[in-house]
Amino acid sequence: MFETRRSTIARRALLGLVLAAATLLAAPAASAASPAEEFVQANVGKGLDILNNKGISVEARRQQFEGFILGLTDMKRIAKFTLGQYRHSATAAQQDAFAAAFQSYATAVYQSYFTTYSGQTLRVTGSQDHGPGDTIVMTQLVDPNDHSGQQPLEIDFRVLNDNGKFVVIDFAVAGIWLAIEERDQFSSFLGQNGGDVDVLVKHLGDLAKTYH
């Protein structure tokens, strides 16, 4: 479950933040066109420092990077959205359990793949307003070892100004938005399992273990 072609693309979207954290500062500096771009540029440096810190163990680096990711994103907001219509019938306890399971699943994917894209760079290409305090920051993933002439992979970040604090609430790879894709997949899974959120929570827990 959740391993369809579109799911694979969506999983790549999960890696978008990892790519940014690991590589953005390697790109040539450019004047940010918006506060949201400045937020992305300023914060990925923290992730870069963690990933390049060879003075600590791999496990310690993973734990620090997880904290970085959780501080950069609004996982609870994303989890609430991905639960879709089923959040209305879920109990408060089930919603909390789902949010925790989703966070564990997402960060497990980050941790599993965060070293895959070393040496690549992420270039900010611009931004556009999605709504009041809601901005899409557009970037391209550039592989210096790729001489195929293909267009760089586009990775977009949806950044929300939440009462003066910027957070990432969604991201996309090649136009596929993670939260929307996951919401569709979770809704399909719940539809096949009688709308039982507890079953989905367990399933996400099992999936998270496969990335450790």
Check residue 186 and give its pLDDT: 96
- 5-209 sits in which CATH class? alpha beta
| CA–CA dist 116, 15 (Å, integer) | 10
| CA–CA dist 7, 43 (Å, integer) | 27
Pairing type for strands 165-173 and 176-177 reads antiparallel
Q: Are 9 and 173 in contact (CB under 8 A)?
A: yes
* Phi, then psi, of 84 in degrees rounded to 5: 60, -140
Q: How many helical (H) and strand (E) elements, i.e. helices and strands, does the chain have?
A: 8, 5
Taking the CB of residue 134, how many other CB atoms lie within 10 A of it? Answer: 14
Check residue 78 and give its pLDDT: 93
- The model's pTM is 0.76
Residues 6+ apart with CB under 8 A from 106: 14, 75, 78
Name the pLDDT band for 209 (thresholds 50, 70, 90). Answer: confident
Going from N- to C-terminal start, the domains of the chain cover 5-209
Supply 17's token pair.
């933040």
Q: Are 158 and 39 in contact (CB under 8 A)?
A: no
pLDDT in tens, 36-72: 998 877 776 576 677 678 889 988 887 887 888 888 8
Taking the CB of residue 46, how many other CB atoms lie within 10 A of it? Answer: 16
Residues 6+ apart with CB under 8 A from 151: none
pLDDT in tens, 133-187: 999 998 887 777 888 888 887 888 899 998 889 999 998 887 889 889 999 999 9
| CA–CA dist 78, 152 (Å, integer) | 27
Residues 6+ apart with CB under 8 A from 74: 160, 162, 167, 168, 169
| Residue 140 to residues 23, 25, 30, 112, 207, Cα–Cα distance (Å) | 11, 13, 14, 22, 29
| Residue 70 to residues 3, 104, 140, 158, Cα–Cα distance (Å) | 24, 10, 23, 15
